[in-house]
């Protein structure tokens, strides 16, 4: 199926930021949406706004740290629409800090959400895609996985790991599945809210306000990958502010 209209798209972390912007944009393009996030109230608000524009939307509270929640979200999509065309692993956190601070709980959180959460999404959707003989994974990575930056050692490591998994999946996918990695730079979202170091949170928030691009820009990049013909696989897109190093 070429294009976006009528495609069934699953999005994790859909209650805000890139996830919400992508859901809204794809809904405007005629996609059928299956949305998941931890914040149910905010997720419901996003779903209602998208439905008001005429798009079909179902949603479920879910935590990407739990494999069963991914299975529940995929099952919701199948029961609601009969298939899944695209699975977007979007949910992510970034409680960055200097390694010397030994914020081990934050390290665990990034590994569990950013890396294991992506793997659980793949585990939930891949068998469905194989059975259907079509499907498209879109994994949201980060420019932090391209360049080592102080305070982002663990965050960048999780994103670099997702990049490796994404490329490995692409090579294993065969001729009927598609796999895309999207690496955003500074984007104006609430991403800094996950940061437990107050000083770094203020620095990142300030930098986002100065140079951050709209999450709509990332949504358009995702849409570009999805709307290509079935025999065209967009492997990776890096999208950052022109002012970002």
Query: Active-site residue numbers?
Result: 155
d(C-alpha 75, C-alpha 84), whole Å: 10
The CA distance from 212 to 205, in Å, is 9
3-state DSSP helix/strand/coil percent for the chain, to nearest 5? 50, 15, 30
- Cα gap 199→98, rounded to integer Å: 11
Q: Which residues contact 218 (CB under 8 A, 6 or more apart)?
A: 18, 21, 22, 140, 182, 184, 187, 239
Q: Are 92 and 140 in contact, with CB atoms under 8 Å apart?
A: yes
Q: How far is CA 126 from the centre of its chain?
A: 16
Neighbours of 85 (CB within 10 A): 22
- For residue 245, the tally of other CB atoms under 10 A from its CB is 8
The helix-helix angle for 17-28 and 40-52 (nearest 10°) equals 20
Contact 115, 214 (CB under 8 A): no
């Amino acid at each position: 199926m070429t294009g976006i209209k009528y495609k069934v798209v699953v999005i994790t972390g859909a209650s805000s930021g890139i996830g919400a912007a992508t859901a809204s944009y794809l809904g405007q393009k005629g996609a059928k949406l299956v949305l998941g996030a931890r914040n149910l109230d905010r997720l419901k608000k996003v779903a209602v706004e998208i439905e008001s524009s005429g798009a079909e939307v179902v949603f479920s509270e879910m935590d990407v740290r739990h494999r069963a929640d991914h299975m529940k979200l995929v099952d919701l999509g199948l029961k609601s629409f009969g298939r899944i065309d695209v699975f977007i692993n979007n949910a992510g956190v970034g409680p960055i800090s200097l390694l010397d601070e030994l914020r081990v709980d934050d390290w665990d959180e990034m590994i569990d959400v950013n890396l294991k959460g992506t793997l659980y999404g793949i585990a939930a959707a891949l068998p469905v895609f194989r059975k259907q003989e079509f499907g498209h994974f879109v994994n949201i990575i980060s420019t932090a996985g391209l360049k080592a930056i102080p305070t982002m050692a663990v965050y960048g490591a999780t994103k670099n790991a997702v990049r490796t998994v994404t490329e490995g999946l692409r090579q294993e996918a065969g001729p009927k599945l598609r796999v895309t990695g999207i690496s955003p730079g500074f984007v104006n979202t609430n991403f800094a809210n996950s940061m437990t170091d107050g000083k770094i949170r203020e620095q990142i928030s300030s930098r986002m306000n100065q140079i951050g691009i709209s999450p709509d820009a990332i949504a358009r990049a995702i849409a570009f990958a999805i709307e290509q013909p079935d025999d065209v696989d967009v492997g990776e897109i890096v999208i950052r502010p022109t002012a970002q190093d």
